[in-house]
Amino acid sequence: MKTHARGAHPTIAVYPGTFDPVTNGHLDIIERGSRIFDRVIVAILENPEKDPLLTVEERKRLIEEATRRLRNVEVESFAGLLADYARSKGARVVVRGLRAVSDFEYEFQMALMNRRLNPEMETVFMMPNEAYSYLSSRMVKEVVALGGSVRGLVPAEVERLIVARAAPGGGRRSRVPAGILTAPPGVEGSAVGAHGRDGRGGRGRARGAAFRRRRGGRG
Ligand code: PNS
């Protein structure tokens, strides 16, 4: 899809998300996208309704540091509709990562709504390396808040910052809502639900989907 060399318009792709925090799964998608598209704009949603662990500025800096060697990748933030933001950037492609079937329903709805809002924009799904197929920002935060290690799942600088902020005995009180950490099996809102608490999809997957619908994202 790299068209620049052939003299056509460069293909600009937007990779939107919350990135609270960016994980190695996100970075894997960014790298794959950078090999296909002329420009990749990583777009961090400014969402005042969420209570993020990291500020937009912190998230931007961390992604910039982690993607410095990728010359055609830039990082921005946006507010409002993704369809409008992509149009303002001249981007005809939205990249989203698909980790598992459980991501599909939400992504399908979002892609079709975005197509309705901006018919010129196409959503392209990319699969991250299977090593990251279970990985989510939400789970990273939960593991850190419970004192576990996320080494190898996020860049070292991300690990340092979220441990300082969210780990037990870290720099300040945990910002990960207690309900997420303690929800018993079968209760919506469990962080594990995103991939099925039962580890097989099934009912866990349905809970995850309901949870994502409620919070408006996949984490
Ligand atoms: O990382 P996430 O939380 O799964 O990313 C979700 C995101 C930011 C891509 C999505 O919430 C979004 O695009 N929000 C902007 C508002 C919008 O355009 N809504 C209509 C389409 S769903």
Distance CA 30, CA 17 (A): 12
Sheet holding 12-17, edge to edge: 73-78, 39-45, 12-17, 93-97, 122-126
Q: Is the CB of 110 under 6 A from ligand 1?
A: yes
Residue 133 in this model has a pLDDT that exceeds 70: yes
For residues 119 and 27, membership in a common domain is answered with yes
Tens digits of residue pLDDT in 150-173: 999 999 999 999 999 999 976 554
Q: Is the CB of 114 under 6 A from ligand 1?
A: yes
At which of 106, 132, 158 does a domain end?
132
Q: Is-above-0.85 flag for pTM? A: no
Distance CA 95, CA 42 (A): 9
For residues 148 and 128, membership in a common domain is answered with no
Residue 143 or 214, more confident = 143
Residue 88 or 177, more confident = 88
Nearest CA to ligand 1 atom 12: 82
Query: What's the burial of 96, exposed, middle or buried (CB within 10 Å: 0-12/13-18/19+)?
Result: buried
Q: 7: CA distance to ligand 1 center in Å?
A: 32
- Note down the domain range covering 39: 4-132
Residue 70 in this model has a pLDDT that exceeds 50: yes
For residues 124 and 182, membership in a common domain is answered with no
Number of compact structural domains in the chain: 2
